[in-house]
Structures are given as C-alpha cells and as structure tokens.
Amino acid sequence: MLRYALIFLVIALIAAFLGFGGIAGASAGIAKILFVAFLVLFVISAVMHVLRKAT
C-alpha cells in the first residue's frame, strides 16, 4: 500500500511540473488517503503484535 502511495505521489509531482493541476491535485489526494490508510493499518498491526507477545 505504501508503494501505491509513493507511485501516486510521483505522478502528482510530474503532473504538477508539467502544469496539469487537476491531475496533480487528484493524485496528491489519492496519495494522502493511501498513506493514512497505511499508517492506520501499520499502527493496528504493531499494537496487535505487542499484545500477542504479552500473552
């Protein structure tokens, strides 16, 4: 999932450099959503790992 966030970030940067504002904004928005989803799943996974080790 982090890979897709980085891919959309690169697409957004290239589109912004070339002057395609709409595509750049949409790609940046998708990258943000994917990155937040990655962070949430990572935190849940880390907490579950700690809880599983504690028992």
Gap between the Cα atoms of 4 and 20, Å rounded: 20
Largest CA distance in the chain: 55
Name the E strands within 1-55: none
Q: Copy the structure tokens of residue 43.
A: 């935190």
Query: What's the average pLDDT block by block, 10 residues per block, for the chain (55 residues)?
Result: 85 89 88 92 95 83
pTM across the whole model: 0.75
36 touches 44 (CB < 8 A):
no
- Confidence at residue 47, expressed as pLDDT on a 0 to 100 scale: 95
- Among candidate residues 4, 2, 23, the one with its CA nearest the CA of residue 14: 23
Q: What element of type H or E holds 46?
A: helix 21-54
